[in-house]
Structures are given as C-alpha cells and as structure tokens.
Amino acid sequence: MKHALAMLERCVTDAGGSYLFCDTDSLCIVSSKDGKLVPCADGPQTKFLSWKNVKRIADRFTALNPYDRKAVPGSILKIEDVNSDSACHQRQLHGYAISAKRYARYERNKNHLSIVDPKAHGLGYLFPPKSRKKEEPEWTCEAWDWLLRGAFGLPRKAPAWFDLSAMSDLASG
C-alpha cells in the first residue's frame, strides 16, 4: 500500500494540491466544490483541488484494484462517507490536524462549529468521562470543539468533565 500512497501523493501534488494529513493507508486531500486558492493565517496560500479533480485522481487507481471487479468494482481509493450529508450530497468540510491520527473534520458557520469526524487516537486509552453512546463518544466531540474554539479565538466553555482526573486501565502482570 505504501507505493500506492506515494503515487497518490504524487498525483495530488502534480495537480497543484495538498493534503491535511497522511497515514499508512489514507490521504486527506484538501478540496472544495470548485477548487480555489485559499489564504492561510500562518503561511502561503493553499490550493484546494476541485471535487471533480479528486474523483478523477481516485479513478486513476481503478486499474490497481486487485479484487474481483464484480465483487469490488471501481478504485482502490474511497472518498469517505463523512464527506456527504444525510442526503448523500457532497458537503464542504474543514479539517484541523495535529498528526496523522489526531484530527477532526468539522463544519463551520461563523462562530458555530459542528464536529463531524473527531478522532480520539491518543485519548482512546483513557476511560471516557461520559458514557459512550456512539462509535465516537460525545466527549471526544466536546474535546475537539474546545480545542478548535481555542485555536480559532472563538468563545469557548470548558466541558463539565474537564476537571476530572484522567484514568486508564493498567494490566496486571
């Protein structure tokens, strides 16, 4: 897979694009509906690839699909479901990454943030301070909301569990 990932990175950079994060089996391509140059607060402008361009890049990897094409058709690259709304229309997401497995994707409208894909890597070994109801626990969204609001200078309120001690399970030998 590492060779395919290197080829994907090359396709994105050859198209003038960039990515938010990269992991052993994924690349989060910076994109928007029409593609555009966007100024960054602490650096040069970033080129967003268009969604159509990202789809064309993904389609280039169809020939590398090692599976039975009837059982698993199409490209070995998948545009994640989180990129679509409940009506299956692609939506514009924003992302904030600290590292490959520590990132959140979100929607933003002025001061309103909606965390849609929080990752808890680096936090997962901790006992959740709140009950776990979904695949990603509510407290993970609350933690990312607090962190993002601080990064963007938006009003924020510490979650109710913020003053609890962090606990983890220790295996006994």
pLDDT at 164: 82
Sign of CA dihedral 63, 64, 70, 75: negative
Q: Across the strands, what pairs with 99? A: 102
pLDDT at residue number 44: 77
**What is this structure's pTM?**
0.82
The contacts of residue 118 (CB under 8 Å, 6+ apart) are 104, 136, 140, 141, 143, 144
Query: What's the confidence (pLDDT) of residue 39?
Result: 75
pLDDT of residue 153: 94
Record the tokens describing residue 75, joined without a space: 């490209």
Can you tell me the distance from the alpha carbon of 160 to that of 40, in angstroms, rounded to the nearest whole number?
A: 33
Q: Is 141 exposed, middle or buried (0-12, 13-18, 19+ CB in 10 A)?
A: buried
Residue 172 neighbours by CB distance under 10 Å? 4
What single DSSP character describes residue 62? Answer: G
pLDDT at 11: 96
Query: What pairing do the DSSP bridges indicate for beta strands 31-32 and 43-50?
Result: parallel
- Give every residue of the chain whose pLDDT is below 70, as ranges: 1-2, 41, 122-128, 130-136, 169-173
Query: What does the pLDDT read at residue 32?
Result: 94
pLDDT attached to residue 90: 94
pLDDT score, position 173: 54
pLDDT of amino acid 19: 93
Per-residue pLDDT, 128 = 67
Nearest to 76 by CA among 86, 85, 63: 63
> Residue 77 is encoded by which pair of tokens?
């690259």
